[in-house]
Amino acid sequence: MLTEEATASARQEELLELAYAYILEHGLTDLSLRPLAAEIGSSPRVLLYLFGNKEGLIRALLAIARAEELALLERLRATSVDDANRIGIIAGELWSWLSAAEHRGLLVLWVEGYARSLAAADGPWAGFARATVNDWLTLLADAQPAAERVTSHAENQRTLILGMLRGALMDLLATGDLERTTAAVNAQLTHLHVA
């Protein structure tokens, strides 16, 4: 027999998964507990009980998004490429993932969390943008030869790649123009001598 705590925890996980699917479709911008609760078969009171408040729920949802991002980065980090141009290969793989249509909801959520993190020093968004930048820069650093990654040239290279990928992603999300943005990413990686 399940204890009350185990039942609450299982229900919390179930509702969190449903809420995550909901925000991937609707975003977080005007998240209201009443429509969310109705859509996922709960009530605002239950959500408040399980997550403490709306900020607690948002923190939990952003944690899922970050976990998905970290899982992607780990998969890319594990890519076995014996190549002096590993950073170019990793950047290309990263763009392939970022530009895939099935990731749009997650990426819109990521951009929203990123932007809100820049505007709000506290609350559920706090530190989201900085953590994301550090995660991606670490992945790109790991893709550079160990002897070079500590140089200012290597740091500049990975900062440029990250900025280019982030800019192309914003453009893709705004326009849906996959062909143009992918051509620009490939041209830039070639120009940086990492493609």
Task: Spell out the domain ranges in the chain.
Answer: 1-52, 63-191
State the pLDDT at residue 88. Answer: 87
The answer for 177, left when phi > 0, alpha when psi is -120 to 50, beta otherwise, is: beta
Distance CA 9, CA 145 (A): 44
Quote the pTM value. 0.78
Distance CA 111, CA 41 (A): 28
Distance CA 30, CA 112 (A): 11
Residue 89 DSSP SS3: helix
State the pLDDT at residue 89. Answer: 86
State the pLDDT at residue 181. Answer: 97
Cα Rg, the chain, nearest whole Å? 19
Describe the crossing of helices 54-77 and 86-98 by its angle, rounded to 10 degrees.
140
pLDDT in tens, the chain (195 residues): 445 555 568 888 999 999 999 988 888 877 889 999 999 999 999 999 999 998 899 889 888 888 888 888 788 777 766 666 788 888 998 999 999 999 898 888 888 888 888 887 787 888 888 998 999 999 899 888 888 899 999 999 999 999 999 999 999 999 999 999 999 999 998 887 654
